[in-house]
Structure 1
């Protein structure tokens, strides 16, 4: 004999009408949206830990960088920061293009962002060549290399993911109804771009105060 509780469950399941539900979820309704928020929060904790560690050592030393070590040149990292921030504009325009079902505009803006990120990677690689110290010489060198390398890898991952999104766009995969992949990729891209701001301040601005 079926218990009354089981009968209630069966009735509840039978009364749910899902015929009007869309299989294309966007925004807060999509599990992947919350997934990317969780990923950003985890990586934000790492960004915060690096920044606080650098500031702690900066405040504990009378001279920072240590004696005989010049502050890193300011021009190249400034250009790379401006390029990354401008790439957020093209990513925003890419998202707006999908909302209007303008696939080729989306592809153009997406690959423009990838090109800018690739330019930043090339600039950073040249910058690594010009560092005046090894990563294992002292704590300042370790932080400079670790923070710079950490963000370099994040730009690589963002550029690869966005290039894949652009290729799907060329195939006509994304539409106004099916754009959650574009949304979460743009969220991560913006995080990577703006994560450089605290790093830029502590690595290149604070040593000049």
Structure 2
């Protein structure tokens, strides 16, 4: 990095450029909070978290104005949703390993971890499909059905988003692009998965256990 040309003296001759900072040796990517993508992911999660909060608020509003809850339907079955929850919790360990090995820039282990996370993601999608079939209410049946499907649909959207990103990143790591900034991308992807798992916890309690307690 060089400074701009100095103001020419009275004679008209230009002074030579002076080096302020040699940026050639600076890294082109970083990890964690030192990466702009990490902050973008954090902002994305914060905005989406507010969307979840608004949807949960709408759920409680419907409970308040109706009193009798759930409306014209039994509470959803617990089997598929609980199995889905257990698999999500189990995914935290390989997700942590992917983040750690990506930070170490270990290509072989990063590839392994991403393949595992891709498979887990596809399994979760299969479980979510089975889960949707055990709600005992259609999305257009009443207000209860609408808010139920909206909450699960909102979380499914985030699930699909992260799984798609993981599969694409996995494919890239098996090509000539599997180096440098891609390792930083693994950490950002893992960070977002933590948000997907954390956002499921209140929805699971609200959808499956709250009607039983109420």
TM-score band w.r.t. shorter chain: 0.7 to 0.9
Match in the other structure for 1:55: 60
Are the structure 2 counterparts of residues 157 and 117 from structure 1 closer, same or farther at C-alpha, using a change threshold of 3 Å? same
User: What are the equivalent positions in structure 2 for 1:36-185 lying under 5 Å apart?
Assistant: 36-66=41-71, 68-171=72-175, 173-174=177-178, 179-185=183-189
Q: CA deviation at 1:45?
A: 0.7
Q: CA deviation at 1:79?
A: 0.9
Report the Cα distance in structure 2 between the residues aligned to 1:96 and 1:75, rounded to whole angstroms. 33
Please report the TM-score for the alignment, with normalisation by the length of structure 1.
0.85
Report the Cα distance in structure 2 between the residues aligned to 1:22 and 1:97, rounded to whole angstroms. 19
Match in the other structure for 2:20: 15
| Deviation digits for residues 102-148 of structure 1 (CA, Å, limit 9, x no counterpart) | 32222222121221221111111122233322211211000111111
Q: Which has the larger radius of gyration?
A: 2
2:27 counterpart of 1:34: no
Q: CA deviation at 1:18?
A: 2.3
Report the Cα distance in structure 1 between the residues aligned to 2:88 and 2:27, rounded to whole angstroms. 35
After the TM superposition, list the runs of 4 or more consecutive aligned residues in structure 1 that deviate by more than 3 angstroms. Answer: 172-178
Report the Cα distance in structure 1 between the residues aligned to 2:90 and 2:153, rounded to whole angstroms. 21
Report the Cα distance in structure 1 between the residues aligned to 2:70 and 2:111, rounded to whole angstroms. 44
Give the gaps of 5 or more residues in structure 2. Answer: 1-5, 9-15
Report the Cα distance in structure 1 between the residues aligned to 2:120 and 2:29, rounded to whole angstroms. 31
**Greater share of residues in helix:** 1
| Deviation digits for residues 16-43 of structure 1 (CA, Å, limit 9, x no counterpart) | 4424422122222322111111111111
Match in the other structure for 1:6: none
Higher relative contact order (CA 8 A, sep 6+): 1
| Deviation digits for residues 71-93 of structure 1 (CA, Å, limit 9, x no counterpart) | 00112111101111211211111
The answer to whether the Cα contact below 8 Å between 1:114 and 1:163 also exists between their aligned partners in 2 is: yes
Match in the other structure for 1:7: none
